Amino acid sequence: MSAQAGNVDVKKGKLQLTKDAGTAWRLVDAGGGKSLLRLAGASDDAAAWVVRHKNGSLRLGSKADAVNFALGSGELGRQELSIDGDATAHEISDTMYGAFYEDINYAADGGLYAEMVRNRSFEFSAADNKDFTALTGWETVGNAGIHVRSERNQWLNDSNRAYLELEAQAPGDGIRNLSYNEGLALDKGAKYDFSVFARSPEAKEIDVKLTDATGSKVYGVATIAVDGSDQWKKYTATIKAKDTVAAGRLALSAAAAGSVKLDMISLFPQETWVGPVNGKSVLRKDLAEKVADLNPSFLRFPGGCVTNVGTFDTYLESDGQDRQRTFQWKETIGAVEERPTNWNFWGYNQSYGIGYLEYLKWAEDLGGHPAAGSLRRSQRLRF
| Cα–Cα distance for residue pair 57/15, rounded to 1 Å | 8
- What pLDDT is stored for residue 332 in this prediction? 94
Strand partners for 226: 204
| Cα–Cα distance for residue pair 303/99, rounded to 1 Å | 11
| Cα–Cα distance for residue pair 339/66, rounded to 1 Å | 54
Confidence of residue 254 (pLDDT cuts 50, 70, 90): very high
| Cα–Cα distance for residue pair 160/337, rounded to 1 Å | 7
Neighbours of 202 (CB within 10 A): 12
The residue extents of the domains of the chain are 2-91, 99-106+272-372, 115-269
SS3 category, 365: helix
Residue 276 vs residue 78, higher pLDDT: 276
As a whole number of Å, the end-to-end CA separation of the chain is 39
Burial label, 155 (beta-carbon count in 10 A; 0-12, 13-18, 19+): middle
Radius of gyration of the chain (CA): 31
pLDDT at 33 over 90: no
Asked if residue 283 lies in contact with residue 272, where contact means CB atoms within 8 angstroms, the answer is yes
Q: Which range has the worst mean pLDDT, 68-82, 133-147, 182-196?
A: 68-82
Class of domain 115-269 as given by CATH: mainly beta
Type of residue found at 312: F
2-3 and 58-61 strand pairing: unpaired
Average pLDDT, the chain: 90
Confidence of residue 377 (pLDDT cuts 50, 70, 90): very low
- What pLDDT is stored for residue 382 in this prediction? 39
Confidence of residue 9 (pLDDT cuts 50, 70, 90): confident
Encode pLDDT of 80-130 as tens digits: 777 877 777 677 888 888 998 888 899 999 999 999 999 999 999 998 899
Half-sphere exposure of 371 (CA within 13 A, CB side): 18
Encode pLDDT of 259-281 as tens digits: 999 999 999 999 999 999 999 99
272-275 and 279-284 strand pairing: antiparallel
Distances (CA, A) of 14 to 3, 81, 138, 148: 17, 21, 76, 80
pLDDT at 378 over 50: no
Confidence of residue 383 (pLDDT cuts 50, 70, 90): very low
* % of residues, the chain, pLDDT over 70: 93
* % of residues, the chain, pLDDT over 90: 67
| Cα–Cα distance for residue pair 223/357, rounded to 1 Å | 33
SS3 category, 256: coil
Residue 77 vs residue 382, higher pLDDT: 77
Residue 163 vs residue 19, higher pLDDT: 163
Encode pLDDT of 47-72 as tens digits: 999 999 988 889 999 999 999 988 77
Read off the pTM.
Answer: 0.76
